[in-house]
Chains A and B, each alone.
Chain A
């Protein structure tokens, strides 16, 4: 446990001092991008990892929050009003999503969320009077918090870091709470949970709302980060990318989606310097991870590490049974 605390402390200090030892605006921006996508992945992981509900439409929700922010600003409202409205709209959309897609679980849930995500993409693309169509919406300014404008990369990075830390803490509390335990129960044994008197549908619904909140927060950060939003952000590719973050890192772990977000964002940024398109690589990584390391990188590495550690100390060979992928 102390080793774990130490690692956490080191990670925190490293993140907090990042702008001092990592010079260059480009790298700080990449770090902000990783953090904001990590929030997004954490939000999706609540459903994929802890509820066992795989959503392929989350980019649509992410996009709704981003578009809402952009549209409110375009109408001339202030930043705080725009952010507030975007949060409300994001969570409300998730509620509608949940009511429709929670009619089934497993494969049915995937199909319905995929279809809903495609609707949102289609709306963003075709409803030109509202969304600007392919031209998207520009967000000319970033807000100022307590007088500090976020237009500088460092200020934006620290804001993102604080929101990220709060999100991680929220998810950690959520997972350890009785509600989190009940949610994992509905993932593994929905019938038994029902028999025990839990309202399975309601538990899943609340989990969806929590996921929607984190997703909306990430969406708002995203639109302020790029200062631009277009239908591309809502495409199936984006939904798949964030799902890849969760699955590659390790669904149902706290650290997994964060590592996955780092991996995907870095690979995407590095690779885009060498090859024009990254979809082929995205697809290959997807297939490779699903077939070779289905439990994800973090649990997979932990398992290998423990295996090596046990061999060295010759402890009793307790099989480190990984939690089955949802």
Chain B
């Protein structure tokens, strides 16, 4: 009984992390029409930078949450920079843009290996969240529950941003019809930078708060990118609800697959994606076929 429950909690936690990662991926894809292949690297960079802040830089040790926010901001700035300096130079050429993000992801992976070496970094669970809460005979790790709460909060925040603010309305307009949005005076190219920075920041934030669970190691980017890809293909591009539902589904399949069919876990993970591609190519909640 406890085994299944633990597995479920782990699945929802992992789903929450995946949501933070894939929401940005999905928005970038929806708006700019490119799969951002640096997304795994941004996750890893956030994790490494955050871990460095937590362990201490030049004698300063930062509080975990402060470190997470700083890392997210730093990576968001990097993302905005990459968009401004590189992707901006290739307007309308989506293929070239994808290839640039691929090249950048190799550079980022090698950079991390150079800076932080090949050994995994362990991020300690933030103070006060290391224990368990007990409900009768059942116990739940507090930190995992915290991640679920954070993911829910970010989901609600993103929904409010997209659905209730002027910026959100502009982003939605850009996703639905970029040409028409331009015609009515929305600076879509500026939205590109904002959305890219937002997505990069969210991915980095997911990287660092996932640190205590996943730890930080070289190759983390290549583990996470396909998952984001699967979530977005499953849920549908440019749809927040799609990434949310997709993340939870993949979180469950990933954890249950690892536990029950360790040899085929990776294959099982991709099965729902193949089914969706065959039966509903636009994804569960998507409106466009990519």
| A binding-site residues for B, Cβ under 8 Å | 54, 56, 100, 103-104, 106-108, 110-112, 114-116, 118-119, 122-123, 125-129, 235-237, 240, 243, 247, 277, 279-280, 282-287, 290-291, 294, 325-326
Contacts and interface: CB of A to CB of B under 8 A. Distances in A.
Interface residues of B, number: 46
A56 B102 CA distance: 10
A274 B43 CA distance: 30
Interface string B252-266: 000000000011111
B229 A111 contact: yes
A104 B281 contact: yes
A114 B110 contact: no
A110 B98 contact: yes
Given A126-B265, A129-B263, A290-B96, A280 B102 contact: no
A287 B226 contact: no
A128 B264 CA distance: 10
A277 B115 CA distance: 13
A126 B263 contact: yes
Interface of B: 33-35, 37, 86, 89-90, 93-96, 98-100, 102-111, 113-114, 222, 226, 229-230, 233, 262-267, 269-270, 273-274, 277-278, 281, 289-290
A127 B264 contact: yes
Contact of A280 (B37, B111, B274, B278): B111
Name the 10 nearest CB pairs between A and B, nearest first.
A122-B266, A286-B103, A283-B106, A283-B107, A280-B110, A108-B290, A287-B103, A118-B226, A279-B110, A283-B103
A59 B105 CA distance: 18
A280 B106 contact: yes
A279 B109 contact: yes
18 contacts: A54-B95, A103-B277, A104-B281, A107-B33, A107-B34, A107-B35, A110-B95, A111-B233, A111-B290, A115-B229, A126-B265, A126-B266, A127-B263, A280-B107, A287-B86, A290-B99, A294-B96, A325-B93
Nearest to B95: A54
A239 to B, nearest CB: 9
B35 A119 contact: no
A236 to B, nearest CB: 6
A107 B98 contact: yes
B263 A326 contact: no
Grouping DSSP codes into helix (H, G, I), strand (E, B) and loop, the B interface class, with mixed when no group exceeds half, is helix
Contacts of A112: 233, 277
Nearest to B94: A107
A279 B267 CA distance: 27
Of the candidates B89, B233, B290, the one having the most CB atoms from chain A within 10 angstroms of its own CB is B290
A284 B106 CA distance: 8
A58 to B, nearest CB: 14
Contacts of B222: 235-236
B95 A115 contact: no
Contact of A291 (B90, B108, B226, B270): B90
Given A129-B263, A325-B95, A240 B233 contact: no
Contact of A123 (B35, B98, B267): B267
A100 B274 contact: yes
A326 B104 contact: no
B160 to A, nearest CB: 29
Nearest to B261: A126
B262 to A, nearest CB: 7
Contact of B266 (A103, A119, A284, A287): A119
A122 B219 CA distance: 13
B265 to A, nearest CB: 6
Nearest to A287: B103
A284 B267 contact: no
Contact of B290 (A107, A128, A277, A279): A107
A104 B96 contact: no
A240 B289 contact: no
Contacts of B281: 103-104, 108
A128 B98 contact: no
A306 to B, nearest CB: 24
A132 to B, nearest CB: 12
Contacts of A129: 263
A125 B289 contact: no
Contact of B106 (A106, A115, A237, A290): A237
A80 to B, nearest CB: 30
B263 to A, nearest CB: 5
A100 B277 contact: yes
A247 B230 CA distance: 26
Contacts of B89: 291
Q: Most chain-A CB neighbours within 10 Å: which of B110, B113, B267, B269? A: B110
A244 to B, nearest CB: 9
Contact of B105 (A108, A116, A119, A283): A283
Nearest to B290: A108
B113 A287 contact: no
Contacts of A114: 35, 37, 226, 229
Nearest to A125: B266
B266 A283 contact: no
Contacts of A283: 102-108, 110
Contacts of B102: 56, 240, 283, 286
B90 A290 contact: yes
A118 B33 CA distance: 21
Contacts of A236: 222
